[in-house]
A and B are shown apart, each in its own frame.
Chain A
Amino acid sequence: MSSPMINRRGFLAAGAAGATILGFGGTVRAAQPLKIGLLLPLSGGLAREGQSCKRGADVTPGLLADMGMPVQLMIADTETNIDTARTRAEKLIADGAEVLIGAFDSAHTLAVAQVCEQRGIPLVVNIAAAPNITEQGFKTLFRNFPTAPKLVTEGLALMKDVFKISGTTPTKAVFLHNNDTFGTAMAGAVNKLFPTLDMPFPLVETIAYDGAARDLAVEVGKAKATGADLVLLVPHGDDCIRMIREMVKQRFEPKAVVSPGSPGMYEVQFYKTLGKYADYCMTNLPWINPKSAMSQALLKAFNKAYPDALFEMNIGFTFEAILIAADAAKRAGSNDPKAILAALPATNITEHVMIGGPIAFDAKGQNTNTRSATIQNFGGKPLVVLPSDVAEAKPVFPAPGWQQRG
């Protein structure tokens, strides 16, 4: 990455600057660590993403301590299971958690939200996109992640920008999506918003698939039969590896494989397994700002702790969720859940790690200032190619054919 690096002192300065903006004058108070219960899918189908979030969480307390915001993390595994998520949330609260953060999966998050609402404990959502999470009137829930419709709207708009820059537009697209909660919410948003966004290509078919399917040969065969030259893909885990593998085998050569906002195609396993075939896949989603001083400090701490792991979105959003909770406790001057709940609506964090405006919540507890980016894989790494003001490379479209890659 070509962005300037920052050391821990610089990070502290950035944090102090942020705190100054927030009106704390950089004073570092000696406080009791805020007990944060972090719910993540550390095992089961979403384990890879959950583990990635945990790596982000692991390096966060040290950085926040430098900013005068001590936190103590209590990490619980939801086992990619809704009932487990609910019971672990109860247990964390019983064990003294003053704030909960989680839970990566939308269905798990809803289950945890109900527990938090009943117990009056703040829940800061690190990652979960289903729109209904902030539409149910929860008073204790604050989400620093875009809704599926926002992800899709921005994801599709960014595609138009890619076509504009490259001077090539696909003739028709096929949409493949995982049929889990996330994938279905995304599909609903794509099918609803696509006709309204004046996209320069038609969507010829939508194919829902079971992410746990043993193989995806028939799904790819069906997509190939449509004659589409653009694949919109919403995977949720390992399924994108099986999908690309089948595309290569079946010699299905779309101009690009683009996700309008989903995990999968920027993860270490994707690069490791597919090698050169992972390159040029694009994902439009909120991403870490490579030009932010705070994200560079987080990157440095992360690389020191996990030299072989990929620094990606899950880490940034998990860091920010903890930052939001710690910031609210600091402003409230108390770790009492009621005081934190009172402070959270006034959140206004200008210096943070993800691309987008200040972290602030609307009346429903949704941060509306998140902003998507286009990342494209080059040499086994995701690089920001849009928006141009934070881009690290230029987008490549159409992608070279599978057999034309060195």
Chain B
Amino acid sequence: MSIDLANQIVTGLLTGLVYSLMALGLSVIFGVVRVVNFAHGEMTALAMYAAWALFSWLELDPLIGLPLIALLLFALGYVMQRGLIDAFVSKPEHMQFILLVAVAIVMVNGSLLVFGPDAHGIQVPYGFDTYEVGPLLVDKVRLLAAVAALAISGLLMLFFRHTMTGKAIRACADNLVGAKVIGLNVKQLYAVTFGIGSACVGAAGALLAMLIDVMPSSGPELTMLAFIIVIVGGLGSMGGALLGGILIGISEVLAGYFLMPSMKSMFSFAILILVLILRPQGLMGARK
């Protein structure tokens, strides 16, 4: 394998890990609340705008601003679930779809009004730095973002496995009737879950803002990306989201390197179609 190709694979792997964190939020929300968040990418774009605003106005590094942005998105997710989505949880799927698409459109146009049509990027002081690892060149920003994404994903998994709230949320996901019977406050847990999924989005948005520019049209693109990842990995599976992100990150790089760079996105969709045909539940999704 040539050094250039190895460099590209490392780049794809690191970028894919950040994508994974974003998709993880979508997977967590669907896995528990059973609502597909069609405004997921738009929420990610909001988090990216928040990171950009903190950086531009307060010179706050996105890695430092990340907890604050995650907290803001947690609050947004919590309020959205309690005030808006909760009434639609038991409604037909098409009603949930229309509701969240409407939310997405409001977010896109709101971003356009507030931030304008231009792309906004964050140029941290170490934005052009690279580490030399043997013959490989590793982009510092990507590495930091990927390590942060991996750490947050790990913390989230620990939360669901080892805390009472995490276990209660999993109980709601596994057996909703049973959870109600033992007295769990399902509405509250749903709101917390939506908040946690949104916090993942917030953290991912803060990290993505260091890698790519944000503009109002970024939202729908990121929603599509999150969907590809969770469908490939397995909707509702946290490990699947992680695997899906890495797979899409690396496959885009390989498609660009061996075929045509302009075919990168098309290749992701090709993988999606293959998975839907051969393993509709996703690579790590449970067969029903």
A binds B: yes
Q: Using a CB–CB distance below 8 Å, which chain A residues touch chain B?
A: 42-45, 47-48, 179, 207-210, 212-219, 221-222, 224-225, 238, 241-242, 245, 248-251, 269, 273, 277, 402
- CB-defined contacts of A216 to chain B, threshold 8 Å: 261
With known contacts A208-B261, A277-B128, A218–B137 Cβ distance under 8 A: no
- CB-defined contacts of A221 to chain B, threshold 8 Å: 4-5, 7-8, 11, 257
Question: How far is A214 from B4 in the complex, measured between Cα atoms in Å?
Answer: 20
A-B contacts, 8 listed (Cβ < 8 Å)? A44-B217, A210-B265, A217-B15, A221-B11, A221-B257, A238-B121, A238-B213, A242-B213
Q: Which residue of B lies closest to A275 (CB)?
A: B123
Chain B interface size range:
35 or more
Question: How far is A269 from B213 in the complex, measured between Cα atoms in Å?
Answer: 12
Question: How far is A43 from B119 in the complex, measured between Cα atoms in Å?
Answer: 11
- CB-defined contacts of B119 to chain A, threshold 8 Å: 238
> Nearest Cβ distance between residue B17 and chain A, in whole angstroms?
14
Q: Which 3 A-B pairs have the closest CB atoms?
A: A218-B256, A47-B117, A43-B117
Contact between chains at A217 and B11 (CB < 8 Å): yes
Contact between chains at B257 and A222 (CB < 8 Å): yes
> Nearest Cβ distance between residue B11 and chain A, in whole angstroms?
5
B118 at the interface (CB under 8 A from A): yes
- CB-defined contacts of A48 to chain B, threshold 8 Å: 118
B276 at the interface (CB under 8 A from A): no
- Which of B117, B127, B213, B265 has most chain A Cβ within 10 Å? B117
- CB-defined contacts of B8 to chain A, threshold 8 Å: 217-218, 221
Q: Per-residue 0/1 for B218-233: is the Cβ within 8 Å of any A Cβ (1 yes, 0 no)?
A: 0001000000000000
Contact between chains at A207 and B261 (CB < 8 Å): yes
- CB-defined contacts of A43 to chain B, threshold 8 Å: 112, 116-117
Contact between chains at B262 and A179 (CB < 8 Å): yes
Other than the given A44-B217, A221-B7, 9 more pairs (CB < 8 A) read A47-B117, A207-B260, A208-B262, A212-B221, A218-B12, A221-B8, A222-B261, A245-B127, A251-B137
With known contacts A210-B261, A245-B127, A249-B137, A222–B212 Cβ distance under 8 A: no
With known contacts A249-B139, A250-B130, A215–B211 Cβ distance under 8 A: yes
> Nearest Cβ distance between residue B128 and chain A, in whole angstroms?
5
- CB-defined contacts of B112 to chain A, threshold 8 Å: 43
Contact between chains at A248 and B128 (CB < 8 Å): yes
Question: How far is A305 from B11 in the complex, measured between Cα atoms in Å?
Answer: 44
B163 at the interface (CB under 8 A from A): no
- CB-defined contacts of B256 to chain A, threshold 8 Å: 218-219, 222
Contact between chains at B139 and A218 (CB < 8 Å): no
Contact between chains at A249 and B121 (CB < 8 Å): no
Q: Which residue of B lies closest to A402 (CB)?
A: B128
Q: Which residue of A lies closest to B141 (CB)?
A: A249
Question: How far is A251 from B135 in the complex, measured between Cα atoms in Å?
Answer: 12
- Which of B4, B12, B116, B129 has most chain A Cβ within 10 Å? B4
Contact between chains at A209 and B118 (CB < 8 Å): no
Question: How far is A251 from B221 in the complex, measured between Cα atoms in Å?
Answer: 29
- CB-defined contacts of A249 to chain B, threshold 8 Å: 128-130, 137, 139
